[in-house]
């Protein structure tokens, strides 16, 4: 199913922040996309994943369509791009950028060094 248009997933992440369920949202969507191979480009699949994770898919879908959420995603994207982010996952430790899951050990080292 990859690549997909991930715009609705990113709006969903911002909506999840507003609704206080960001961590379980990200856990569910990342597992669905990268571990289960689910077609998260299909809103019906996303609804099913959210519901199975115990999240309120209707509330998340509704919140994701609000103009304020859309504007916040645009602002977040512009800020990340200005810092040099170009994909997921991108991590910043102070001014140092790390891209890719395989960089997690280096991220951990940088965090320990402060």
Using one digit for the tens of pLDDT, what is the confidence trace for 52-104? 999 999 999 999 999 999 999 999 999 999 999 988 889 999 989 999 889 99
Phi-psi region of 54 (alpha: psi -120 to 50; beta: other; left: phi over 0): left
Strand extents, DSSP E, 10-88:
none
Sign of CA dihedral 89, 22, 61, 30: positive
d(CA 19, CA 22): 8
pLDDT value of residue 26? 96
Report the predicted TM-score, pTM, of the whole model to 2 decimal places: 0.86
Question: Does 24 score more than 80 pLDDT?
Answer: yes
d(CA 3, CA 83): 24
């Amino acid at each position: 199913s990859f690549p997909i248009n991930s715009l609705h997933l990113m709006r969903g992440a911002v909506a999840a922040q507003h609704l206080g369920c960001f961590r379980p949202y990200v856990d569910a969507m990342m597992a669905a996309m990268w571990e289960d191979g689910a077609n998260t480009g299909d809103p019906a699949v996303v609804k099913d994943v959210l519901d199975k994770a115990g999240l309120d898919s209707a509330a998340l879908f509704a919140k994701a369509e609000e103009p304020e959420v859309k504007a916040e995603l645009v602002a977040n994207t512009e800020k990340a791009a200005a810092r040099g982010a170009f994909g997921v996952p991108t991590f910043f430790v102070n001014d140092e950028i790390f891209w890719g899951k395989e960089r997690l050990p280096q991220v951990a080292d940088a965090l320990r060094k402060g």
